[in-house]
Structure 1
Amino acid sequence: MSDHSDDTARWAEADELADRAGALDDVEELVEVDLDGPDDYPDPDGDPYGPTSARTGSIGAEAGGEEPQLYYPTLDVFVRELLAPTYRRVIDGRHRSWCPQWWRHGEAIARLEALWRAWEHLRHDPAIGASSWFRDHADPHMAVLFDPDAGPFKYCTSEQGHSPRLQPLPLDAPPEGLFQLPTP
């Protein structure tokens, strides 16, 4: 594995760039969903990523109260050391797209974070964990990420890098009170 101090510096730089691009704010709203069940969410520390954090690498306490040991300490390390070397593909923009600055895309961060969480959980199953991870998680998410027509990297290229041409979905404000919780 790589030097963790370099990872901290890289995450700080990535966060600064993502903040400028507005992608991180979109992702924080995007991943505020209950991925682990209602008993684990919201995270008492207020982490927008819930029980797992792409920045710290913690995934919450196990039944015995101990923090599980992560194999990959950050999302960046997971992508660089497992995902990129595993998914070797021709990235031509016609059949597959990829952005070297994947961390500037909110959807990519959310999907890759989900892959990392699932991998960290399923790696403990020596019988079918790897197969389940590929079949149920990695291959479906990577197909969406690689999709040159409908994926988040549609206008990005390996040569030119990131393109901010894709915009968030258009939204109209809902009627006032539609999503208010009932008063007790």
Structure 2
Amino acid sequence: MSDDVDADLATGEVAAPETPQLIYGNCAEFFDGFLRRIYVRSINGRETHWSPRWWESAEAVYRIDAMWRAWESLRLDAALGGSTWLRDHMDYHMAVLTSSAGPFAHLDDRYGAKDGGLPHEAPPAGMFVDERAAA
């Protein structure tokens, strides 16, 4: 056994597990730094819809926040986390958000996502708190 384990057994103290640190501080940072760059689709304004001001939609914020929190947890599972997140979270929520019945279906603008990912405008300063600082 290692010296640390021997010391823990000798004292009866169990070391607290290390708390994983967040990679992204909030859902806006996650969207801009990761999600929009891997979710590259053609947004045609007929079957698929998007807004670079996604953060003005309560539904979009809630779904992207849920995806971010799931990603932060599932990234720790090296074997199945990525696949599980893609299938159960990104594929599901992004299909809803970009659908012809989704929150952006009413928009006339056509935003493409062929090369640089989904368009994104930065939200107003202070709209999203960096949760790494709060941890």
Q: CA–CA distance in 2 between the matches of 1:93 and 1:103?
A: 19
RMSD: 1.9
Q: 2:40 aligns with which of 70, 83, 88?
A: 88
Q: 2:23 aligns with which of 57, 60, 71?
A: 71
Q: CA–CA distance in 2 between the matches of 1:66 and 1:153?
A: 41
Q: 2:103 aligns with which of 152, 155, 163?
A: 152
The number of aligned residues is 96
Q: 1:139 aligns with which of 91, 99, 121?
A: 91
The structural deviation recorded for 1:80 is 0.6
Mind listing any 5+ residue stretches in structure 2 that lack a counterpart? 1-15, 112-118, 120-135
Q: In 1, are the aligned partners of 2:74 and 2:81 still within 8 Å (CA)?
A: yes
Question: Deviations for 1:45-70, whole angstroms, at most 9, x for unmatched residues?
Answer: xxxxxxxxxxxxxxxxxxx4865310
Mind listing any 5+ residue stretches in structure 1 that lack a counterpart? 1-63, 162-184
3-state SS of 1:141 partner: helix
Q: CA–CA distance in 2 between the matches of 1:145 and 1:76?
A: 15
The structural deviation recorded for 1:138 is 0.9
The structural deviation recorded for 1:95 is 2.0
The structural deviation recorded for 1:75 is 1.1
> What TM-score, normalized to structure 1?
0.49
3-state SS of 2:105 partner: coil
Q: In 1, are the aligned partners of 2:57 and 2:103 still within 8 Å (CA)?
A: yes
The structural deviation recorded for 1:158 is 4.1
Aligned match of 1:42:
none
Q: In 2, are the aligned partners of 1:100 and 1:158 still within 8 Å (CA)?
A: no
3-state SS of 2:42 partner: coil
